[in-house]
Amino acid sequence: MAFEIDFMAVGEGERSGDAIALRFGNLSGPRTEQTICVIDGGTKDSGEALVDHINLYYGTNSVNFVFNTHPDSDHASGLTVVLEKMDCGTLVMHRPWEHSEHIHHLFDDGRVTPNSLAGRMERNLTAAHDLEKIAFDMGIQIVEPFQGATNDAGTIRVLGPSIDYYRSLLCDFRDMPELAAESFYTEILKSLMDRAISWVDETLEVETLTDPPVNSVSAENNSSCIILFTIDGHKLLFTGDAGSDALILASDYAQSIGIALDDLYFLHVPHHGSKRNMGPKVLNRIKATTAFISAGKEAEPKHPSKRVTNALVRRGATICVTAGNGLLKRSPEHPLRAGWSAAPVVPFYWKVEEN
């Protein structure tokens, strides 16, 4: 089997997002011998670009699986376009409002009921809830992706989150009853920290990237579906915006079922290459020969972090960043796509942003 992975350019200026198409199987044969997936859709514009791209380069208007890794709008919004304009088989997404029965008792406020909690999540996670409504209207099957789920052929496997870990995160989703103010001030602090950037020297021998603290990313990001594709022995890992905590748990699970993640053919670097999502502990366990990062054209130096790209280079990865352009990764035996040329490779940087 051959495969193609396409990253759309998402966002303008500093804004970033993810919009990814993937197909595998007999790519020179009929559509019935291929599986086509969309993994997140970015903005509405990038959703339109995904539809056009699949029609033009994959020669079809049908998609087998549409994955929404987590409910943030920079991943979910464009998928509404995909669902409305394409023939979609299965929508793979978490539905947090369906888990309110399991977590409502954890809140101190006695007025919080399963129904009120579900309604709150539906209102606050509108992009994801819109996907559910469109899928219902169009008769598209919805499947929640929890650890251990696979497709019939076993080529697609969900490494995380487990259902228990996912439910533990829901209480910290934005605007949940007692955490709204804390989340607001935390986001302001993070924003101020991101703007205060100075530079330090780094060498190949000395790594300055450190492991991010526990809960350094949002609960929504850590709830990201982490998906492993295994195609003719080539392992392709897609991570959404998962943080270090979630990635370690996924790696633990993979190890428990005999799957190594230190020999990946391809890695989708989470959250646009943020240093809050990956540190040495994760990168020593999850290694790839090729890594793609989806980041806005003017998102540097925040996305991607030079500390992160240097750490990937040290571990043998060739890195490419969208930065306003589409990216393609193909299986070794698949021919070059006409009119496409080699993407710039991220170098090793001798100066990186200070922690």
CA–CA dist 123, 151 (Å, integer) = 31
205 lies in some domain: yes
Q: What is the CATH number of the domain that holds 293?
A: 3.60.15.10
Read off the pLDDT of residues 255-293 as tens digits, 9 standing for 90 and up: 999 999 999 999 999 999 999 999 999 999 999 999 999
pLDDT for 296: 75
DSSP 198: -
Instruction: Give the number of other Cβ atoms within 10 Å of residue 194's Cβ.
Output: 14
Number of domains in the chain: 1
pTM here is: 0.90
13 lies in some domain: yes
Q: Which has more pLDDT, 269 or 354? A: 269
pLDDT band at 139 (very low <50, low <70, confident <90, very high): very high
339 lies in some domain: no
- For residues 170-183, average pLDDT: 60
294 lies in some domain: yes
Q: Which has more pLDDT, 181 or 157? A: 157
72 lies in some domain: yes
CA–CA dist 98, 121 (Å, integer) = 10
Residue 33 is encoded by which pair of tokens?
């011998």
pLDDT band at 301 (very low <50, low <70, confident <90, very high): low
76 lies in some domain: yes
Look at residues 162, 340, 334 and name the one whose alpha carbon lies nearest to residue 265.
334
261 lies in some domain: yes
Percent of the chain exceeding pLDDT 90 equals 62
Residue 167 and residue 102 in contact, taking contact as beta carbons nearer than 8 Å = yes
Read off the pLDDT of residues 37-94 as tens digits, 9 standing for 90 and up: 999 999 899 999 999 999 999 999 999 999 999 988 888 899 999 999 999 999 999 9
Angle at 143 between CA 138 and CA 147, to 5 degrees: 160
- For residues 299-319, average pLDDT: 88
CA dist 97 to 2, 125, 141, 202, Å? 38, 9, 17, 45
User: Which of 145-159, 201-215, 225-239, 240-254 has the least mean pLDDT?
Assistant: 201-215
CA–CA dist 341, 65 (Å, integer) = 28
Q: What's the start-to-end Cα distance of the chain, in Å?
A: 43
230 lies in some domain: yes
| Per-position b or e across 133-156, b if 16+ CB within 10 A of its CB | ebbeeeebebebbbbeeebeeebb
Range of the domain at 258: 2-334+344-353
